[in-house]
Structure 1
């Protein structure tokens, strides 16, 4: 594991002492249905990420809600919100703003290592990283809270483990957590295997253009999670989804 990731995990363990349960159970929004709806409209299904680190500052009050509404207008089928504060400058309040400001599914993206974190904040999906967490136990806990787990994997072993644990949605991360290098070929190798297992498959990391997105879709992605490139250049989202190409919704 890269030293940066190890540092984030250590900071997460320290924060867990103050984690409090904020809800019992909720009714989540359906990311699979939302992605299918986007494709029926001729759009590339994008889970657009609110990622403060990409702009090198925490978000101001109300800013996450504004970004979320813009993402929805630009055709996003879902929104991912980074809530990790130490490195990614995220917050639970940004997650709450995004979810109350839009009607599409919202993913909590964080380093979830303990069941105490799951009911810390309301979301529709919760990211679980197979390489750092006991996903078998946490998948059950996430569903018991009324949310859906999105299990992030990096290789075939983790993919098989996620499927055996009952995951229905997997994110294949093109970023190697040991080196932090990105290779879109990772999804091209693992995406077809995930589809063969009957999993809803999300391509994560490294998509910077419509051509990159089309490459992931050609490899079998059901949706694409994009963060850094659209936080730095929000207008890029409409180009990638296809909603602003010549004023038409077309791939």
Structure 2
């Protein structure tokens, strides 16, 4: 696990807040989780580019804040062809909340990912979702226990990596849905080549998600050619007309296979 000195200041601040944030009360048990891999496969069979659209009011790497009703934004994303949704529940830096996730999940019929910085098992017990995000870089040797704890509660799990060593740790922990973040959390630089390099080392039967940096249909095509089963897209959808932006990215180009 990184020390805060190895992270960009904004990320170190997020991590520090996550350490202090408590968990839920009662143990969460999800009995009706919608499968992210199944949804990705269904989108592909339907001829759409599988996109996980992110409901993200703000972030340390973007300017401004969306004040629209997040449920309306989510519904527009689904209308635009989003395969699944990612909802931020981190409050201090991203303006998210568990209540927002609850409202969005009740309003749509696609899988909903809880995107947060989860460090302790009790933090899994805040809200029901279909999938939770676990970040290998932040969890270190706690990744496997957290993965097990999440699955015991009925969550699907997306494990995020950035390097080949993190990928190896994720696979060793039992991850089968793996997100490769093109953003280096140490420098906040984005390089789509990260997915091309790291994703190529993933097991053939893993479900791979390309995270960060996808802004255009050309970017989407590039990630799909590199083996991405799905694309997690935030700012490129949230900046402007979310339905039109989602439609633009979910409509395949000739080279998107």
TM-score of the superposition, structure 2-length normalised? 0.89
Alpha-carbon separation, structure 1, partners of 2:238 and 2:159 = 23
Supply the RMSD in Å over aligned alpha carbons: 1.8
Q: Which of 113, 124, 145 does residue 118 from structure 1 map onto? A: 124
Q: How does 1:66-215 map to 2 (within 5 A)?
A: 66-133=72-139, 134-196=142-204, 198-215=205-222
Moved over 4 A (4+): none
Given that 2:36 and 2:156 are in contact with CA atoms closer than 8 Å, whether structure 1 keeps it comes out as no
Q: Which of 22, 42, 60 does residue 37 from structure 1 map onto? A: 42
Alpha-carbon separation, structure 1, partners of 2:36 and 2:63 = 26
Given that 1:23 and 1:120 are in contact with CA atoms closer than 8 Å, whether structure 2 keeps it comes out as yes
Q: Is the partner of 2:137 in helix, strand or coil? A: coil
Compare 5-14 and 42-51 and name the one that shifted more.
5-14
Given that 1:202 and 1:224 are in contact with CA atoms closer than 8 Å, whether structure 2 keeps it comes out as yes
- The alpha carbon displacement at 1:22 in A equals 6.1
Question: For residue 246 of structure 2, what is the aligned residue in structure 1?
Answer: 237
Query: How many residues of Structure 1 are paired with residues of Structure 2 in the alignment?
Result: 242
Q: Report whether the alignment pairs 1:218 with 2:190.
A: no
Per-residue CA deviation, residues 169-227 of structure 1 (Å, 9 max, x unaligned), is: 0000000010000000000111221143x210000000001110010000000000000
Question: For residue 25 of structure 2, what is the aligned residue in structure 1?
Answer: 20
> Which structure 1 residue ranges, 5 or more long, are not aligned?
none
TM-score of the superposition, structure 1-length normalised? 0.91
- The alpha carbon displacement at 1:79 in A equals 0.2
